[in-house]
Amino acid sequence: MVVSISSVIYRAFSFVNNGKSSESGEHEKFSWSEALLDAAIIAGLNFFSCLSALSVLQILENPLQALVAAIISAGFGFFSTLAIKRGLRRE
């Protein structure tokens, strides 16, 4: 039985709620507070995991460079989470 990659990916992400009510077809109200809280949590995880990884692996000796790398990682996590929550996509 051959399964296409697109169907596997679709099934993997089928649990994601796209913000539409299945009964009425209308969009639910977007909650900025929940989205910002989720994004802040992900940013914090990215920040501290980046710092801990750099510390354990001793890749960077300069602490300022480690902080810059962690801030970049946190920013990427924050804004990518907001983009996902808002449903931004290329059409």
Q: Which pLDDT score is estimated for 80?
A: 92
| CB neighbour class for 46 (10 Å; exposed up to 12, middle 13-18, buried from 19) | buried
Average pLDDT over residues 58-85: 90
Is 91's pLDDT higher than 90?
Answer: no
Q: Which pLDDT score is estimated for 41?
A: 94
Entry pTM:
0.62
**pLDDT-derived band of residue 29, with 50, 70 and 90 as boundaries?**
confident
Average pLDDT over residues 62-83: 92
Is 17's pLDDT higher than 60?
Answer: no
Selection from 89, 90, 83 nearest residue 30 by Cα: 83
Domain residue ranges of the chain, discontinuous segments joined by +? 40-86
Is 15's pLDDT higher than 70?
Answer: no
Selection from 41, 31, 45, 33 nearest residue 73 by Cα: 45
